[in-house]
Amino acid sequence: MLDLTLDDIARTIGGTLVLGDHAVQEGTSEVSVVNGAVDTDSREIVPGGIFVAKPGEFSDGHLYVPAAVANGADLVIVEHVIDDLTVPQIVVANSVEALGMLATEVIRRIRELGVLTVIGITGSNGKTTTKNLLRTILERQGPTIAPRDSFNNEVGAPLTMLKVEPETRFLVAEMGASAPGEITRLVRMARPDIGVVLTVGLAHAGEFGGIEKTLATKTEMVTDLLPTDVAVLNLDDYRVESMADKTRAEVLWFGLDTNAGVRAADLVQTTAGTDFTLTLPTGESQRVHFSVLGEHHVTNALAAAAVAHTVGVPLHAIVAGLESVTRAERWRMEVLPGTQGVTIINDAYNASPDSMLAGLKTLAQISGPGIRRVAILGEMSELGEFSLEEHDRIGRTIVRLGIERVFVVGEGARALHLAATHEGSWDGESAFFDTADEAYALLEGELRSGDVVLVKSSNSAGLRFLGDRLGEHFA
């Protein structure tokens, strides 16, 4: 983070600076400078850090202030004074809002130096994969900051922004939302030069209240962009395509559509990944061997390529970056090949109807002598009133895709099992299990050499651990 005085920070976040037992008048601490890493997790605090005490649903960050200080925090931001503290504290009305204010000011000051380019990424699916791909490409061009894991909400996004330094050339910010207005808040914090929208689907539809509200929320990414900015939009998604009329920015399309400026063609999928030809708006093209499995991840690769092209990365460097990535992320289309001839595709970190369908289509497209395609599926969470309908739709789709064997785990996914069982005449068979342990007990003897197995569910269903167990067993 930038060097900031205690007074700077207190003014920025509208807080009261307290040293010992006394509030400090403005101007008396101008020489006290802090510049350490900011975090809301006391375990992540390192010497010189700034700890933000955030009240939570199950615990209160104020309880961990002493631990943060013990780990070396030079400053704590709190909502009430902590007694007997040996480091300065700034008292604010709302620590999460204060975190956002601090991030906004730090980004503003660093942008004034004229080096930083900010890229914001949103979408119902693919944010983390696209972020990882883009980070891999851009960090070869200059100092790049991108979030760890899926730090994309009102806490995670500003924590990532606060990692920027005066020499940072690129900031890649994931921007997620569970309610309208949240992306707008993050966009106004970071002020992206490039705004990326990947997809608009039914992920979190239960929280938003329907697909139209989801569309309106994702559109927030581009509505505040300036005419000098660039909106990178997915031409294959008609809802994303509709955003072109909602932005003042220049639009750069990506997708499989032949009218996209950044596009892929001649896709060939195997268990080793997807080969495709990447074409840029300049007309340049190059063949790519992309190890991340699934056509939907090719779309994410195109989004990353479009951003990289926009900031001047040459085609050969874009391709080299894409080809160096061997997996999207832990538990995202992660291929676990086994010496016993069983290949496990562990994609059970997140699941929406769109990503579930994409994973199943990828499984269906994998073929070859002796290959049997097996799906192990769990609940798609956060669908609200759409849950029954969408699980039913996926169950019927499995049959139509011709996947040979299906195992369904957990009561939340029972509708999927019932739909697959009742869909027409099917040579395959669907089996249902209440728990992952019950499924594992059967699967370790059921799977055989040549099987390609997709494990897919929402994080809450816990099937990612079942996928890991199967990977270890057949390794």
Give the containing element (helix H, strand E) for 194: strand 194-197
Quick one: pLDDT at residue 247?
A: 97
Cross-strand partners of 287: 277
Does 123 carry a binding-site annotation? yes
Does 128 carry a binding-site annotation? yes
Q: Please state, in angstroms and as integers, the Cα–Cα distance from residue 363 to each residue in 270, 341, 344, following that order.
A: 9, 16, 11
Query: What pLDDT digit, counting tens, does each position of 370-429 carry?
Result: 789 999 999 998 888 888 999 999 999 998 898 989 999 999 999 999 999 887 655 667
The whole-model pTM stands at 0.82
Structure tokens at 183: 């992306």
Angle at 115 between CA 113 and CA 119, to 5 degrees: 120
Q: What CATH homologous superfamily does 4-97 map to?
A: MurE/MurF, N-terminal domain (3.40.1390.10)
Quick one: pLDDT at residue 174?
A: 93
Of 452 and 206, the structure prediction assigns the larger pLDDT to 452
Quick one: pLDDT at residue 259?
A: 97
Does 359 carry a binding-site annotation? no
In this predicted structure, the answer to whether residue 110 has a pLDDT above a threshold of 80 is: yes
User: Any idea where the domains of the chain sit in the sequence?
Assistant: 4-97, 113-324, 334-474
Per-residue H/E/C for 376-406: EECCCCCCHHHHHHHHHHHHHHHHHHCCCEE
Does 277 carry a binding-site annotation? no
Structure tokens at 138: 């851009």
Mean pLDDT of the residues in the chain: 90
Query: What pLDDT digit, counting tens, does each position of 46-90 carry?
Result: 999 999 999 987 889 999 999 999 999 999 999 999 998 989 999
Quick one: pLDDT at residue 209?
A: 62
Does 127 carry a binding-site annotation? yes
**Helix axes of 436-446 and 463-474: crossing angle, nearest 10 degrees:** 30
Does 152 carry a binding-site annotation? no
Structure tokens at 309: 């092209």
3-class secondary structure, 338 = coil
Quick one: pLDDT at residue 205?
A: 55
Quick one: pLDDT at residue 424?
A: 62
Does 124 carry a binding-site annotation? yes
Q: Give the rounded percent of residues in the chain with a pLDDT score beyond 90.
A: 67
Cβ atoms < 10 Å from Cβ of 60: 13
CATH class of the domain defined by 113-324: alpha beta
Number of H helices, E strands in the chain: 16, 23
The domain defined by 334-474 folds into Protein-Tyrosine Phosphatase; Chain A (3.90.190)
